[in-house]
């Protein structure tokens, strides 16, 4: 069974408690692992974090509420790449999440009319809104 170690889990919980609420009405581990897409959206609708790895899906178990019914389909294929500006607060949060699970690198994507996307082994993080630069 793949999962983050105790130190990584503790760091993630510290980071997530500022932006997400733990739930008592969550999914079972089996249900989560079967889902193709597992993601959280912060209450201000600026940040989306998708669990990519089995470890990340297991960690999200305490934050995903069965009653939450938002479904997003952000298809980045074929979009024009551009420069953009994002708030440092959310970019820093993404970096902290990646560092908490010992990620050594991540990819950054920015496309016209789409929010910025950061991808790593365990998480994909989408940050919006963003403002185009000249």
Q: Which of 48, 3, 40 is closest to 22 using CA atoms?
A: 40
pLDDT in tens, 42-99: 888 788 899 999 999 999 988 887 666 565 666 666 666 666 777 788 889 999 999 9
pTM for this entry: 0.76
Q: Are 4 and 102 in contact (CB under 8 A)?
A: no
pLDDT at 104 over 70: yes
Task: Among 32-41, 46-55, 119-128, name the one with the lowest average pLDDT.
Answer: 32-41
């Amino acid at each position: 069974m793949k999962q983050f170690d105790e130190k990584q889990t503790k760091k993630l919980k510290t980071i997530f408690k500022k932006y997400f609420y733990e739930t008592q009405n969550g999914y079972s581990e089996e249900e989560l692992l079967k889902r193709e897409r597992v993601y959280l959206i912060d209450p201000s609708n600026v940040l989306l974090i998708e669990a990519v790895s089995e470890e990340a899906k297991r960690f999200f178990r305490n934050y995903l509420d069965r009653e939450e019914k938002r479904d997003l389909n952000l298809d980045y294929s074929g979009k024009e790449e551009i420069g953009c500006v994002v708030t440092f607060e959310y970019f820093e949060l993404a970096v902290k999440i990646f560092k908490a699970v010992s990620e050594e690198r991540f990819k950054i994507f920015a496309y016209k009319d789409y929010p910025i996307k950061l991808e790593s082994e365990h998480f994909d993080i989408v940050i919006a809104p963003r403002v185009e630069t000249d």
